[in-house]
Amino acid sequence: MPQSSPTLPRPLTGIVPPLLTPLADRDQIDAAGLQRLIEHVLAGGVSGLFLLGTTGEAVSLSPAARRELVRLAIGYVDGRVPVLVGVTDNSVAETIAMAQHAAQAGAAAVVATTPFFIPLEQHELASYIRAVVAECPLPLFLYNMPRLTKTWFETDTVAELMEIESIVGLKDSSGDLRYLATVCKLARRRADWSVLVGPEDLLVEAVGLGAHGCVGGGGNVWPRLLVDLYRAAAAGDEPLTRALQARHAALCEVFSSGGYAAGAIRGIKCAAELVGLCSGRMAEPLAPCTAAQREQVERVLNDAGLLSPRPIAAAD
């Protein structure tokens, strides 16, 4: 029998890290690294896990590897927190198949961004989401990532899709606070609807606008700091929030390991390697940190007092 995630809280609040995908070789999941990573993240007090997002390098993994990751991760979590699974694909049929696999594996919800090769018009995007929802037994989160997908979930489309009961929230990684504010205002229409911000450097501002939490990649390595920062901001504790923000801002230098979105992924994956959680191997064709980038990440972690005394071997 597959393991099962606990019932999804509505709204989902707090820190829900987008889990890294530890790899042992090309397209091969590192099961031991995955288990270490999950135990570390859960010990930080997070509210859930998000598999196969941007940080999880989903689009660079084969369908078989994605399914294996879902099966293993849900088993390791063993019902301790809800597990959300990214299901986006340019094919509606593959998106639905992945969503159904996630349900069978015991996920609590699925997450769908916009298909990312041919930009969709908004009516096509709404039809795509409706097709997935019609054949998926799980709640669904929308994922707005226009920098990479070239298409926004425009606010009128969000309002339209909010009328579907099984669509329960939105993750916004646009970095546009005006857009986020509008979505947070829309969320007031449903008490069970959750707005989660992607860029963790916007966590405090997002909470001030009414966001319910954050899906930040740093939660793989410094989950407790993000949890504490979210709780301080949500409680309105300004002195503690400022102090935690300063610590967090220094750590965010990890995300500048090269250009493009891959720089943030390779930086946090390198950090996970340096603290002894999993290999920094990237899903090809993405490349791991260079020696210079690794030195930069090591310096940031050392300054923050996060380095493990026994970091695992560097990725090839």
Q: Which residues are annotated as a binding site?
A: 55, 215
Active-site annotation holds for 143: yes
User: What is the 3-class SS of 234-269, one letter each residue?
Assistant: HHCCHHHHHHHHHHHHHHHHHHHCCCCCHHHHHHHH
Q: 76 catalytic, yes or no?
A: no
Q: How many CA atoms lie within 13 A of 124 on its CB side?
A: 12
Q: Are 297 and 289 in contact (CB under 8 A)?
A: yes
Residues in CB range of 289: below 8 A, 6 or more apart: 257, 258, 266, 267, 269, 270, 280, 297
Region of 34 please: left (phi>0), alpha (psi -120 to 50) or beta.
Answer: alpha
> What residues are designated binding site for pyruvate?
55, 215
Angle, vertex CA 21, rays to CA 40 and CA 255, nearest 5: 80
Alpha-carbon gap, residue 7 to 191, rounded angstroms: 17
The strand pair at 109-113 and 83-86 is best described as parallel
Residue 51: name the closest of 27, 21, 10 by CA: 21
- Dihedrals φ, ψ of 302, to 5°? -65, -45
Catalytic pick among 76, 128, 150, 171: 171
Distance, CA of 85 to CA of 93 (rounded, Å): 16
Task: List, in order, residues 6 or more apart from 39 with CB less than 8 Å away.
Answer: 76
Q: Which of 128, 143, 179, 230 is catalytic?
A: 143
Q: Which residues pair with 169 in a beta bridge?
A: 141, 194
Residues labelled catalytic: 143, 171
